[in-house]
Structure 1
């Protein structure tokens, strides 16, 4: 009886290990794919930064030596100001947005007030101090 129970127990453990490996290996391949095949031309999308609801966003991609970056010109919603938007982004993220499960790359960014808009410059490759 114990031999049968022990054999069944080992089979259950083997099935769970196989399921775990079937889930982990594709994710590790995906992370390796992002790391190995990413280029300096990769830039973050506006959806990577959680801009407040109601903000109007215009995006642009620029490149120079050392990589490419996204420039988002953000007009705050009617209920907030450019100072509040800049403060929100800087205190919430402190200049970096950690990667997500689907894209584990870290996004570095800066903010600058330009009239009634906030200019956010974001990149995977360039570190802003």
Structure 2
């Protein structure tokens, strides 16, 4: 490969890397700048076992922001407290974000009769 062609390939690769970096930085900036207290994580962000069943989802808000309350019915033979321990939400769990959504999700779980009630929030570090 000629030196000028090799140089052009390196410049093109560097430009592509810069473009990808700027695109990702713009995505994260939009998440941060566009953040509102009403933002809540999706129920899919909660690491539930396959045999657990989501019974209901409810969005609640207060003076400290909003949170998602998800009621989960454990598998047959499992108590809500055992499910909370398996999920890691008893008493609380902090889930770090991923590449697409780098926000941290905070979870709290407690037994409510025969279901586990889990609250998920981006904002509150204490149970809501």
State whether structure 2 residue 21 is matched by structure 1 residue 19: no
Count of aligned pairs between the two proteins: 124
Which of the two has higher C-alpha Rg?
1
Runs of 4+ that moved beyond 6 A = none
Unpaired stretches in structure 2, ≥5 consecutive residues? none
Residue of structure 2 aligned with 1:43, choices 29, 40, 45: 40
More helix by share: 1
The equivalent residue for 1:28 is 25
Coordinate RMSD, CA, aligned: 1.8
Instruction: Give TM-score scaled by structure 2 length.
Output: 0.87
Instruction: Give TM-score scaled by structure 1 length.
Output: 0.86
Unpaired stretches in structure 1, ≥5 consecutive residues? none
Does the Cα contact within 8 Å between 1:95 and 1:109 map onto a contact in 2? yes
Does the Cα contact within 8 Å between 1:109 and 1:128 map onto a contact in 2? no
